[in-house]
Chains A and B, each alone.
Chain A
């Protein structure tokens, strides 16, 4: 029968090793999710700006990048990185490097679309007003458009961060020891799949749900209600 004591017995390994990544295996869900979010967003800003560039030499490659990565499963991108990076660099790369590269490259396409939509949501009048008081295009973008765009982006940004956070579980496919892999390791010994997978589901849920509650604060109030 069900025995949730197995969770308690392995709580340290699951949370400290699997979730935080402080342990003999390295790894960790947070250790992967946090840099992946930061770097993915950073690359996403450049891609979003590139998609709005005037020159087709900048715009079209950025569009192709976005369309390519949005049309392919993340699992596929992880395998690409797994096989191709060691081939290119001629040296073995730890799972962490492979997974982080895959996440940053893949999620930047999604972040790029959010940035683009955010910038486009700023009314044209703002750009014209900035130009009329003598700001250059770069100044107008930096001081007028981006601050307003960023505010409009927050809800979709947090949603994408939650998606990325959940996606980090896929790093376990190539052997990265995150929360999911930690549960698999424990399960191989204990054979208590229902209890263990339900427990990590709850851990993921608690993080993702609190992030989405946080995001709700920034959503515009429904009009007329």
Chain B
């Protein structure tokens, strides 16, 4: 192989600043999208259990429609498809204030909200019925049953799959480069374009993503063990 490595491209010139900027953009778009996804996920997850059919159907429609279409298509849809339909004044404001970032954030949040919804729903459904019955039998009111028994158990059950899903969101933020959001993958490619050193640039991006994911997974694993209720949640393999 005739490839000549020159790792110094990563710390000479603007590369360092680009990587840092990319990392910050990735974190910003992921954090905002995560808040949106969590809100939509909790809301639609809860609505799917209410006793009024139209609300249940609306929530089911949201979940099934948004999670079964590729994120890339949603990015194009929200960035290219929707703005022309908006009022001119708002559209102008949007394009003066980083429309691609907001469209990307929105696409990411709405898409992962639908996936988060399923995580939350299956978490609640995996709580044995007997927990409800036992709590009622002890004379707790419905509000107390949820506050003291169901929600504390559900939150613990949800931690591992929700962490997984949050990491998916973080990794999927890279799709935003297609609508030219200058996030980490975008900046990695920029370094490649300027220096023609593909392997070095890609290694830098890969290592940063990997470190982020392992860090978050490690912290959440600790949280999970810290708050585990002995004997209640059996972890596979552990």
Contact = CB atoms under 8 A, between A and B. Distances in A.
Interface of A: 2, 67-68, 70-76, 79-80, 83-84, 87-88, 117, 120, 162, 166-170, 172-173, 180, 183-184, 187, 193-198, 200-201, 204-205, 208-209, 212, 222, 224
16 contacts: A2-B85, A72-B209, A73-B174, A76-B209, A79-B202, A87-B199, A120-B236, A169-B73, A173-B178, A193-B77, A194-B77, A200-B73, A201-B73, A204-B68, A204-B69, A208-B68
A212 B206 contact: no
B171 A180 contact: no
Contact of B174 (A75, A187, A204): A75
A162 B80 CA distance: 25
B209 A170 contact: no
Given A72-B206, A72-B210, A205 B69 contact: yes
Contacts of A198: 77, 81
B69 A201 contact: yes
A196 B85 CA distance: 14
A169 B72 contact: yes
A193 B73 contact: no
Nearest to A169: B70
Nearest to B198: A83
Given A83-B199, A209-B64, A197 B73 contact: yes
B105 to A, nearest CB: 16
B236 A166 contact: no
Interface string B55-87: 000000000110011111110110011101100
Given A87-B3, A194-B84, A194-B85, A180 B76 contact: yes
Interface of B: 1, 3, 64-65, 68-74, 76-77, 80-82, 84-85, 125, 129, 167, 171-175, 177-178, 185, 188-189, 192, 198-199, 202, 205-206, 209-210, 213-214, 236-237
A193 B76 contact: yes
B173 to A, nearest CB: 8
A218 B94 CA distance: 46
Which of A162, A205, A209 is most buried by chain B, counting CB atoms within 10 A of its CB?
A205
A193 B80 contact: yes
A71 B209 contact: yes
Contacts of A169: 70, 72-73
A209 B1 contact: no
A193 B77 CA distance: 7
B222 to A, nearest CB: 17
A187 B73 CA distance: 13
A209 to B, nearest CB: 5
